Every structure is written in C-alpha cells, then in structure tokens.
Structure 1
Amino acid sequence: MTLIAARSAVPPQQRRLTLAALLAVALVVVAGILVSAERYGRRVAVGALDARAAAALPLANAALAGEISKQQLLAAVLAEDSDVRALLATPDAASARTIGAKLKALAADAGSSVLYVIGRDGVTVAASNFDAPDSFVGSDYAFRSYFSHAMATGRGFQYGLGTVSRRPGLYLSHRVDGPDGPAGVVVVKAELGRVEANWHDSGYTVFASDGAGVVLATSRPDWRFATLAPLPDEDATRAALQIGDLPLRPLPLRSDSDGLMTAPAGGGTVSFAPASGPVGEVAPGWRLTVLIPADAAIAASVRLALFVTIAALLLAAGIGVAIERRRRSVRRRQLALSQMNAELERRVAERTAALAAEMEGREAAEGRVRRLRDELAQANRLSILGQIAAGVAHEVNQPLAAIRTYADNAARLLDAGKGESVRDNLGAIARVTERIGEITGSLRSFARRAAGSAGPVALDDAIDGALSLLAGRIRDSGVVMTRTRGEGAAVVSASRIRLEQIIVNLLQNALDALKGRSDGRIAIAVERAGDTVSLRVADNGSGIAPEVADTLFMPFITTKEAGLGLGLVISAEIARELGGTLRLGDQGGPGAVFVLELPCAP
C-alpha cells in the first residue's frame, strides 16, 4: 500500500519524463554495444584473414621458387653439355639444328618458353624455336643484361618483355666456359604461366615485385608492370626491365586503418588481407604478396557478432522484464541461476579435462608415430639382414672350414712334435676367428637400433660396411663392382648405422635390377662440392620407367614382384632426418642412378 501511494503521488508528466530519459539512456547504451560488437566482429575476421594470408604465402612462394629453381638448374646443366660446348667452339648449321632439336625437346619437358645458346659475341647460334618463323637463331642479344651479367659473373637473372614475342618472361642465363675463357651463354626463358595459373586457381590475388617495386609475375595480368610506390628513376627501371614505352602505372592498392588493402572494383572498393615476404635466393630482391578477399568474411563475422549481441540483449531484456514482473520469485530465480552457473562451471571443468586428455592423447599419438617410424626403419634393416643372411652364412662357413683344417693340422703337427708349426697354425686360427668376428660384428651393428644423434662419419667407411654386409651376394651374383673415391676424405654429418642402411638399400635394389644378367655392373662414386658430399649408385639394369619415376618415393610403390615399396621411402626419410636428400639421378643411358646428398661434417 505504501508503494502504491508513493506511485500515485508522482505526477503523470514526471513519470513520462523519467521513462523517456531511461529509454534514451537505454538506446544510447544499446547503440554503443552494437558498435562495439561490430568492431569486435571486424577485428576477429581481420585476425583470421591475416592468419590465412600468412599460411598461404609459403605455398605460393614455393610454387614460384620451385619453378625458378627448376629452370635455373636446366640452364646450368646445359652449360656443361658437351654438344653445346662443341657448337660454341666450332659453330656450324648442321650442329645448330641438332642442338636446336635437343633444346626443343628439353623446353617441352621442362615447361620452358624458349631455350637458346648465345655466342660470346651476343649472337644466338641455336634455339629451341629454330624451326619457327620467329626463330631466335641469328638474333643479337648482346644488349640484354642477362647476357652481359652471365658473361661477367657466370649467371644472369632478368624479367622483361621478349624482343620478338613481346610476351613478358623471366630470363635465366648461365655462362659456358671454354678452354680460352667464356665461350657463350645458355638462356632459359620461363613465362611463369603455370605458376600464375595456380595462383589464380587458388582464389587469391598473388603477385611478385622486384626490388624497385614493379609488379612482375601476377595472377592478375592487368596489374603486371604496375608500381607499388613512385619510382625514383623511371628511366632506370625501364632500362633494367627493357620494356620500352610500356606504361608503369601505380598499383591501385591502398591501406586502411585495419591493416587491410583496398582496391577499386566497379563503383566501389574491395578489401584484401595481405601477407608479404621475400621470394628467396632464387629471385634476388623479389618479394611475394598474397591478397585474400576480405569483404565477405568480414561481413559474415560482423553479422554473427551483431546477431549474438542482439540475441544477448534480447535475452537480458527478457530476463529484466521477467524479474520486474515476478519479484516474488527472486529467490527461486537466483537459485536457478546459481545452478546454471554451477552447471556451466562443471561443463567448463569437464571440457577442460577433456581438452587436456585430448592433448595428452595427441602427444602420445605423435610419440607412437615416431616409434612406428623407428620400428619401420628397424624392420627394414632386419629385412635386409634376412635377404643377405645366406651370403653372410657363406662368408662365415669359409673361415670355419679353414679353422677346422688348421686345427687338424695342428693336432698332427703336435703329435709330430713340431711346436713351432703348431704355433703358426694357432695364429692362423686366431686371424680367421678375427675375420668371423668382423662379419658378425657388422651384422650386430647393422641390426641394432640406430642412435638418434648424428656425428662425423667417414662416407668411405660406411660404404665399406655396406659392401661387407653384401659381399656374399655380390660375389654370387657375378656383378662387377666399381668404386670411385673423391679427392680427400669425405666426412659427413650422419649416423653410421642409418647411413649404412641407405647404402645397403640402394645396393640391394641395384642387385635386384641386375638379377639374371651376365654383364651386370654397379658403379659407386663419391664427389664433394662445397659443403655437400654426393654418393652416386648406378647400375646398367632395365632402369626406371617414366610412369614409375614420379611416384618412386611414395609408400608401397615398387617394381619388384615381391617388394613392399618401403625401402626407398625409408631411405629418403632417413636422408631428410640427416639434413640431406635422396633422389633419382639423370640416367643418361641404360640402368638407374640414385644420388644421396649429405652435408659435410663441420
């Protein structure tokens, strides 16, 4: 009754004013909350987009760097080609056409636009487009910087327009050295079309710019040769790119307050989340930029934030109205809210425990994966031991027979009273016993689990160990084994047992490939180049079929009738763990060549 009386005492106009003031305050608060929700949703979306852009950058960079590296390697290999050297030493039309046909086939295989050989005077003597109307043969490219740089420093790198095709591309050159100095230059033009197509198919905008800030390779052709910033010397940039009077217009990108990039589109603008970084040593001065479309993701995140916020406000308003209308049930309400809070805390605790268990399970799974990988390598070694057991048994039987003979001789000599001769026979028995110990020691060393840490290992010692394990099989197969040692001692950073496992796998595969052949040959060669040591194992077997070569290092891919397809996979994995690589080399003739490259020991 007192409350009703108090309400009645308040004039209606004052109540309306108070209600209007409360409503205005509520509207201001709601508007502020909605603005904050919109900003929060935008921040969340921008953060997620930045993470996506950062994750996409290495993939896009790998595609570009891989293509450039492949084309650079092609130029370097051709610079060492004997036919190319002979042509540059004594140019003639017949040889030029022969080399041109060879370059044409190589360009088709490598995805190069054009391959051509330039003499020391700057005139092209052979080209992959020798039979085309716009052939490069006879063209003078002495003015090109990729030619002058290669002649001066050994390598050239230039992006620009083709003087004949007028199509942009990356020119990679390598000097050909003759007995009297530089003989010419091998040039590979790569138009990077496949890389740009892959970028375009990803749905992202990707472009690479040079040190001057000029866009070169890009998934948007209309952005090519656009500039990221005003050029301090446009004439110098044009001269470096050799693009003639092609316009160098500013790139239509701007930064906003959220760190996004905007570009005009239709009557408005579109936003992108950027990520940028250097391409690497294969493209000096180049930077790669990935732009992920941001508008749709930001709009969705903002809508979600506003929806959740409005739902929360409506829920709060409903709760307030319920509390206002049901004052008498406050205690019951408070109890229900307490129970809800307790349930929420319980669920949070359960979820936290579940997440902890999940993390422990994941760590345990990773540990099992590591153990399984080690077990697989161990199983591979034991499998190899099983394959060479017969040969090793033969190696042991011979010394055992010799021991029996020496022992019988010693007994007869002892009966004859020839003590000095008995001592000689016992010495021979000791030496044969040492030989048996070396054979069994090699088997025990190879069979036990390899240590995880790497150290200095003499590569020749590892090869000797592998040959010792396979000595019986090599002798029984009749295969001729040749071995070329590099200059000086080749010491690598590796695990002796793991290194022997790789070599045994490669020799086993070579012996399998030569099974049944009377003219089988295996060549082992060691070569050191800088900080890397290469081991080549080559045979004259039937070789690796092209359709198998691309999947050779994939699990369960094998050309053997009884093989599991795991030996090369395990060997390649061990090589990677040791900081090196195992790959299929250039056959250059019958048979197969495998190349193991490892870092030199510090």
Structure 2
Amino acid sequence: MRTWISSRPALIGLYLAAVLGLSVGVWVYGYVQALDQVAARGRSDLELAADRLVTQLQRYREFAVLMARHPTLELLHTVGDRAVAEAVLLAAADKTGTLTALYADARGQVLASSTGDVPPDLAQSPHFLRALQGALGVSLGIRNGQRTFSFAAPNFGATGKVRGVLVAVVDVVELEQDWRGTLPTVYFTDADGQIFITNRSELLFWKPAGDGAMEAPDLARYDVALQRLGGHEIWLQDWSPYVPQRALYLSTPLPVIEMEGGALIDVTPARRLAALQAAVVVAVCLFLGALLFLTTERRRALALANIVLEERVAARTRALSATNTALRREVREREEAEAALRQAQTELVQAGKLSALGQMSAGISHELNQPLMAIRSYAENGVAFLDRQRPEKAGEALGRISEMAQRMARIIRNLRAFARQESAPVTRVDLGRVLQSAVELTETRREQAAVDLVWQRPEAPLWVRGGDVRLGQVFVNLITNAADAMEGGARRRLEIGIVTSAHTLVTFRDSGPGIEEPDRIFDPFYTTKAVGGGDGMGLGLSISYGLVQSFGGTILGANAAGGGAVFTVALEPWAEEVAA
C-alpha cells in the first residue's frame, strides 16, 4: 500500500505526459487533415478565379481575332475611309467594353483607332511583333497610369502575309470589378513574378525580392517565413490586415494568358479545428483517468446496479416475450381471417355467376327448346323424304339436325364454362372469343328486352391477361346490367367496341337513363333496381371490379356525352416477355 502511495505522483505524471504527447499527435494529425480540406476548397476558389479571368479575357481575344478581318478595316489598305473605320472600331469597343481598339499596318502605322490614343512604341511592343509572325500576341502593360492587357490579332493578305494587325487593349480594373474583395486572397503575376492582377489592391506591383520576401513599389521589404507540413506550404507574413498572417499558399499556371495564379488561404479555421480535436482528446483522457481512480470505490455500487439492471432486463424480456406471443396469435388470427375473406370472395363470385344463370334460366330453356323442336321436325321430315324416295331432301334435313345439335352443344359449353369455378392464375385469353361467348349467353335476355346490339368480333385473336371464366362473368354482368337499364326505354341500343393502345379497352355504351351516382356504382350492395324485385343485391359490379383488378386492369363507369352510360374495361395486353 505504501509503495502504491509513493508511486502515485509518478504514475500521475507519466499519465499526464502520455496525454500531452497524444494531444500533440492528435493536433498535428487533425491539422494536416484540416489543411487537406482547406487546400481543396482554396484550390477550387483559385481555379474559379482563374477561370473567371481567362473567360473574361477570352471575350476580348475573340473580339480581336474577329475584328481583324472586318471588311471596313481591310479597305484601309486601299481606298478605305478612316473616319468610317474608326466609327466601326468605336462601336465595337463600346459594345464589348474594350478600352482601346486600333488597326495598324505591318510597319506599325496606325490606320484607325477607336479613341485616338496611339501608343508611341506600338511597332516595338511584344504583342505587335508576335502578331506580325502570324500568331496571336498577348502582353501586359501600363498606359496613362492604367493596367492594361493587350491582344494583337494578325490580318493576312491575299499572299498569305500579314498586312495588318488589330490591337485590343483591355482595362484590367474592369476585369477585377466582379471579384474584388471576394474569395480568399488571390493574385496573378506576370513572367517576372510581379503581381499584376489581384482582389487585394494593396498587393499590386509587389514582386519577389529573394529569400522568399516580397518588395512593394515603394521598395519596402516584407519578409515571409515558410513552413511545410503534410505536403503543404504555409506562409507566415504580415503584409496587410486583409491578408491572413498564417496562410496556405497555392498556385496554378495560366499559359493561355502567360501568367501564374496564386492564392493565400487562411489556415486559422484548420488550426482551430485541430485544437478542438486535441482538447476533446485531452478531456476524454482526463475523464477516463478520473474514472480509473474511482473504479475501485464504485465497484460495489456498480455490482449492485448490475444486479438491479439484470432484474429489469429479465422483467422486460418476460414482457417482450408475452407481447411477442400475443403478436404471433394476432398474426395467426389475421391470416385465418384473410383466408376466410378470400374464400368468401371466391364463393361470392361463384354465387354471382349462379345468380346470373338463374336469371338467364328461362332464356336458356328457350334457347335449348327451339333446337330440340327443330330437330324433331327435321327428323320427321327426313323419315317422310326417305319414304318418298327423296334422299337428297332427307340429307338436307339431317344436315339441319347436325347444325341444331352443334348450336345446342355451343350453348351448353358456354353455360358449363360460365358456371365453372375458375381458380387458375392469370393466363393468355382471346378477348374476342370471350366477348362472343358473353354475347351468346345473353342473347335471350337481349331479345326479351328488345336490345339492338352493335358488335363486331375481331377477325384475328386479340390476346390479353385474364381468365376465361372470370372475364366472361364481367362481360355478362355488364351486358345484363345494360339490358336492365334500357328496359322500358324508347330507344334500346348497346354498342360494344374494342380499342387497342397501351392498354386494351373494351367499352359498353347503352342508350339508357345513365348513372345517378357514378362515384358509388362499384360499391357493394349499391343498386338502383327496385328493392325485393328479385333483380339482384347490387353485387354484380362490385364483383366485376374485383375480378378486373385481379387481372391487373381497371373498370370505369360514367355517363356518356350523348346520353346513356358507358363502362370501360381496361386490360393489359399479353406480352411474351411478361409471360417469361
């Protein structure tokens, strides 16, 4: 115990020294990481400023190149009017913001000028000499106390030699107006390293003085201390209140305008962030150290707290288990309810079909009775023709009997298909065949109601996604409802049409009184028929709506523009890739 007490100050000192070393390491690491982010943002700002400057100068460069071939200026070499040419140059300079635009011959003699300001050493200027060589000349300069940027574009004669040069002089101050005082400290130097363009006016015309120092126009010397950290170059200087004293230096060459861009990015935020990270690490380490000293004293309290916590966790686990059991039971009950609902829906669909068959029973009996009576009559006639030795007439009677039998077979086949309880998945269905079957099933009901049907079955199969029986039930319901709606009306006409587009549309348009409440037409048990009349409970359209939705389609009901109601069934066309 005494040994531990005597060594405790040493352990504390060693721990504090380790914390100090760790904080320094964290500060350096955080500082370098923050400098990477500052450099990325600063380089983006520098590139933005450089692009803005180059873009602004590009306008004057294009002006010089295009204006050099102006017809009015070319005439100055022969019989051109100088006044007219100067007016053209003045108008063009005003439109583009050019300070001065002049045109000279190959000897340097000015033939026209927008302002009358002619530099005395034009023929010896670098940009003019460069243009005489057939290239675009660029140079910096100071005229009448103004910083200028000059472009010289050659004009080639018929022989291919330069016979004239157009010089466009740009005022640098106008270029700086858009970004002066914005962004970090940004400047652009000429070939000698002199600052010629900047958003900090106090740095104008500064140039390197050796040993990393800078020299102002008044010959004042400003020293710069360099630091390198993590591949970054940091300048420590005291140039201006508007230039950060500790700044990250970035540069980029601009060969297009023969300049180099530089930026000084303030690193104070990076140092502040690194210091904050180091402070957090120190705080965490001191906090953890304090916890280490208090661990022994609080061990018993933690053990008791752990026991209480385990009891609470056990109680909570029991509660969660009970809740989980209840949820499983509820899920099972809901699944059973959904299964019962699906079964009820299936039975309801079948009941709707049987109800429709019951309503059509009288007509079906009539449809079957007629062929039977005809078969009996043709059979008697056939026997009589055979007795009279007229086999050709007997053959005709037998042919008619075969036709009547086929008609009865078709009626029975349609009835059996309609009454069948279909549970197969969605398959390929011939829409024309299903519609024709529904028309034949409802023929007697339409004849009873004296309905004039307008319907033309498509010549080729029209494949849609659905089910033969279920889709046929939908069409039978719609035709039967239309006949019921038109019963008692003066004009009874039902039109069935098919339109093919993104979806295949089947329309049923009747000449009845229309729909009173279109929004409720597909609600269960909604009907406009007399209560207790035996015409149904208002489930036909609701069942049809569910059947069409099970095919991935829709059904809509609305009042037609010229009177009556129109029901539209939209079905998805069958595609082989969908089936695959």
> What TM-score comes out, normalization by structure 1 length?
0.45
Who wins on radius of gyration, i.e. which is larger?
2
> What TM-score comes out, normalization by structure 2 length?
0.46
